[in-house]
Amino acid sequence: MKRSLSVLLLCLLAGCGMKNTKPGDGRQWTEISCSGFADWNKCYEKARQLCPGGYDLSNQEENLVTQKRTMLVACKKEINRSGNVLPE
């Protein structure tokens, strides 16, 4: 009985951190991972490289035990190779 309650509690707690990571706006969401002793700035730098026109952040998670950071981003505007913003 105790084990069943523990498993149920763990499942409920795991669901608390979940978010809808794909809004219905049609954009592609990308998970960016940064591990080790680097701070969040490494993740933000990767996001800026991926999305030079800016990005929206959907989810940000950090595990202090494993030193892993992840965030979910979607680019705000598409930019072509010549640096011009493409029409929406």
Residue 47's domain comprises 27-77
- Supply the pTM of this predicted model: 0.59
Q: Let me know: does 83 contact 61? Beta carbons within 8 Å.
A: no
CA pair distance 61, 57, nearest whole angstrom? 11
Amino acid (one-letter) located at 36: G
From the list 77, 79, 42, 80, the residue with the least C-alpha distance to 62 is 42
**Res 19: pLDDT:** 38
Residue 73 lies in a domain: yes
16 in a structural domain: no
Distance CA 33, CA 35 (A): 6
Confidence at residue 81, expressed as pLDDT on a 0 to 100 scale: 60
| CA-angle at 37, arms to 58 and 17, nearest 5° | 30
Residue 4 has pLDDT above 80, yes or no: no
Residue 58 belongs to some domain of the structure: yes
Q: Which residue has the higher pLDDT, 82 or 12?
A: 82
Q: pLDDT tens-digit profile of 23-63?
A: 567 889 999 998 887 789 999 999 999 999 999 998 899 99
Structure tokens at 81: 């190779």
Number of compact structural domains in the chain: 1
